[in-house]
Structure 1
Amino acid sequence: MERLYTPAILDIEASGFGKGSYPIEIGVAAETGEVYSWLVLPEQDWTHWREEAASLHLISREQLQSEGVRPNFIADELNALFEGQTLYSDGWGFDSGWLSLLFYVARKSMLFRLETLPKILSDDQLAHWDKAKADLRQKNAWVHHRAGIDAHLLQLTYKKTAIDEQLRKG
């Protein structure tokens, strides 16, 4: 069996969807399997808040104020850890905008790329993705909608579907 590529996966939880929403938690599962996660201290003008989103991620505004770190710190950490790499997201349409906003307010340039996860999935992986992900979530009893856990789950789902595909091919 050939050596398995393990992509770095980024996931973002946000204050809601649409205009005015902003990142509240950034999670990354690195190629090494290490998981990083930061709660984001909101900027003064980041006031958009949707209770529907909060009921999913279970992060309160108070928690962000007490435990969150400034966007410039997170941007520096991401650049230091992932410079020159490509990270993948299963929600690229939203995550790319929220990540850009984080780097914009931090006044930093992103030194890595963000791509859509389906770009590196085979048809076979896509066909088995949802079941593999649900099985892994249930097996590990992981909480849904926390950025670090979700990034790790996506990375493990990638690996499981890739291994299963190799086994099916013989």
Structure 2
Amino acid sequence: MTLPTLLDIEASGFGRGSYPIEVGLARPDGSTCAFLVQPLAEWTHWDPKAELLHGISRGRLEREGYPVRQVARWLNDELAEIGVAYSDSWGYDNTWLSLLFHHAGMLPAFRLEALRRLLSEAQLACWSATKEAIIRERGIHRHRAGEDALLLQLTYQRTLTQA
């Protein structure tokens, strides 16, 4: 069975002015990767509550983040052949992804779809309990893009066998 590619984005906050700060993928083979995004000068919105969740400071992004164009290029390199990635927060993630590509001056070579489109009613019914069990078993650190993408992929895989 080929697993879907899951994409997760951590952000500076929610709503107007928020922007992507970390993009992570869980690939079909179960490997993960994530990149911090260096904020542009005009990206000034910062929600301290969001920082409490993901634990990434703006200073760290400025020091360790990759330029927007480099992150967009990496995403296209990773996803062009597959053509699609899935997100459990499509509304937010698609907005942040669009912002990233807009500021990179590039178009995505893939589309982002809602993970829900892949799930059966039976999978949806056991999704939350399965996800919580995996978090406990693996000691997953939530709200980091690579770990969250992997968590979604593992939950998808396990709910297939439970459904």
Shorter-chain TM range is: over 0.9
1:11 aligns with 2:8: yes
Unaligned runs of 5+ in 1: 166-170
1:132 aligns with 2:109: no
Superposed CA deviations along residues 103-144 of structure 1, whole A, max 9, x for unmatched, are 000001100010000001000000000010000011011111
Q: Which residue of 2 aligns with 1:73?
A: 70
Q: Which residue of 2 aligns with 1:29?
A: 26
Provide the TM-score with structure 2 as the length reference. 0.97
Seq. identity, %: 47
- Choose from 40, 44, 55 the match for 1:58: 55
- Choose from 72, 87, 90 the match for 1:89: 87
RMSD between superposed Cα atoms in Å: 0.8
**Deviation, structure 1 residue 163:** 1.7
**Deviation, structure 1 residue 5:** 3.5
Q: Which residue of 2 aligns with 1:157?
A: 155
1:98 is aligned with what amino acid?
W
Superposed CA deviations along residues 34-72 of structure 1, whole A, max 9, x for unmatched, are 211000000000000000100000000111011100011
Unaligned runs of 5+ in 2: none
1:89-128 superposed matches below 5 A: 89-128=87-126
Q: How many residues align?
A: 162
Distance 1:74 1:33 in 2: 20
Tell which structure's C-alpha radius of gyration is larger: 1
Q: Which runs of 4+ in 1 moved over 4 A?
A: none
3-state DSSP of counterpart to 2:143: coil
Distance 2:51 2:118 in 1: 31
1:93 is aligned with what amino acid?
G
- Choose from 30, 42, 47 the match for 1:45: 42
Distance 2:79 2:100 in 1: 16
3-state DSSP of counterpart to 2:13: coil
Provide the TM-score with structure 1 as the length reference. 0.93
Distance 2:138 2:15 in 1: 31
3-state DSSP of counterpart to 2:53: helix
**Deviation, structure 1 residue 32:** 1.8
1:7 is aligned with what amino acid?
P
